[in-house]
Structure 1
Amino acid sequence: MNAVKIPAGSVELSGELILPSASSGVVLFAHGSGSSRFSPRNTFVANVLQQQGIGTLLFDLLTRAEDQDYAMRFDIDLLTRRLLDATAWLQAKPETKALHIGYFGASTGAAAALQAAAEMGNAIAAVVSRGGRPDLAGEIALSQVTAPALLIVGSADYGVIELNKQAFALMKCKKELVLVPGATHLFEEAGTLEQAAQYAANWFLKYLQ
């Protein structure tokens, strides 16, 4: 494990960068509100990606002090800037600058991932949203995403399914919407997180090569 510090404006964000040997891509994780780089669900998905030879960067979108401010957790523009800062940091590092880049966003992090992907254009190879709020990315950003995007939602995550379908309809990129049977918002039901992780791994393996 490689603990890293990512410069983001006037602050430094803590993260963990793991690069399996011969990985062709690296996925940045944008966690949801009230979560951190230690999110057990994102860590689980990251482990699945690493086993498939995909690099991962789990990092805090907010400092500890910032995270105490409830409004900052939902400041999608700020979260997007942080994700873009982390992306620029990866693109400048000798060991990662040649790798294809993907984004994995959960909850509010999915909106930041899609906004950042819209801004980065072809520099981002793929985006996956798990239990995400892609609708919070806004109509303009959603229509500007060019990276292939996969939206994973629990079939019992009522309300969020509808929001994902609305966002999906606005996207013009290559896209898929997958419902995981029986899963609620946090994918806590037996086997559901494993299914979501496998969908994500397959998507990234397809587009990060």
Structure 2
Amino acid sequence: MDVRGCTVTIPAGEVDLPADLLVPPEPAGVVLFAHGSGSSRHSPRNVAVAHALNAGGLGTVLVDLLTAPEDEVDAVTAELRFDIGLLAGRLAAIVDWLANERPGGTASIGLFGASTGAAAALVAAAQRPDLVRAVVSRGGRPDLAGAALGQVRAPTLLLVGGLDEQVIALNQEALSQLRAPADLRVISGATHLFEEPGTLEQVAEAARSWFQDHLPVPVNASRPR
């Protein structure tokens, strides 16, 4: 599939954030990624999932949620990576930008969050209920979204490694608080980072199917499988 890629700068409040935008022809939707603590838009796991989504006819946006100076501070203090309010606010601003810019002509937006980024994605989904149509969490900490869990309207898929027992428990508790259609799937034999052979591929396939099923199809656009 012919996927067009470019690096753009997206305004998010008082900062501008670099993002890698990949859009196939007539995308069925666009998925904004929220990386986990200490990571960036170059996360090899998120990049791999993004490519799988692109192959399934979905556009993707991989963005750095911290500026370069903030990232330098965070590398020492680790304080900003857990500032869910800050990260969610920036995600919401990027959602607004996507809704206005409509890359590839689609306004159907999904969020994919990893680790602490999953909490930020869920809070952003609660803040933009009319724009965010689906959420997927990979090895996420949805519990950190707090009261926002009950305000999420987008169908939400929680993916957790079968060997990541503590995170399974946290996701089970979060699932009980979600009022939107939601599902928890455990990937057998996977640890927190899904480094075991074949496990990340299962994450990518599950995410692709979830977004294909829950993002509205634009008029005159087909939905590849």
Normalising by structure 2, report the TM-score.
0.90
| C-alpha RMSD of matched pairs (Å) | 1.1
CA displacement at 1:7 relative to structure 2? 1.0
Match 2:34 to one of 22, 27, 30: 30
1: CA distance between counterparts of 2:102 and 2:172? 39
1: CA distance between counterparts of 2:103 and 2:40? 25
Which residue identity lines up with residue 77 of structure 1 in the other structure?
G
CA displacement at 1:9 relative to structure 2? 2.1
Who is 1:86 aligned against? 94
Contact 1:27–1:102 under 8 Å retained in 2 = yes
Please give the secondary structure, in 2, of the residue aligned with 1:57.
strand
Who is 1:124 aligned against? 132
Which residue identity lines up with residue 143 of structure 2 in the other structure?
D
Match 2:15 to one of 11, 17, 20: 11
Please give the secondary structure, in 1, of the residue aligned with 2:60.
strand
1: CA distance between counterparts of 2:100 and 2:187? 37
Contact 2:25–2:104 under 8 Å retained in 1 = no
1: CA distance between counterparts of 2:129 and 2:102? 22
Contact 1:121–1:145 under 8 Å retained in 2 = yes
What percentage of aligned pairs have identical amino acids? 55
CA displacement at 1:65 relative to structure 2? 1.5
Greater CA drift, 116-125 or 158-167? 116-125
Match 1:62 to one of 38, 46, 66: 66
CA displacement at 1:94 relative to structure 2? 4.7
Which residue identity lines up with residue 190 of structure 2 in the other structure?
A
Provide Cα deviations, 1:90-123, integer angstroms capped at 9, x if missing partner: 1111535642000000000000000011111132
Who is 2:200 aligned against? 193
Who is 2:221 aligned against? none
Change over 3 Å in CA distance of 1:106–1:94 after alignment to 2:
closer
2:164 matched to 1:157? yes
Match 2:185 to one of 159, 168, 178: 178
2: CA distance between counterparts of 1:20 and 1:177? 29
Normalising by structure 1, report the TM-score.
0.97
CA displacement at 1:82 relative to structure 2? 0.8
2: CA distance between counterparts of 1:79 and 1:65? 15
Who is 1:141 aligned against? 148
Who is 2:112 aligned against? 104
Contact 2:28–2:212 under 8 Å retained in 1 = no
Unaligned runs of 5+ in 2: 218-225
Unaligned runs of 5+ in 1: none
Contact 1:117–1:147 under 8 Å retained in 2 = yes
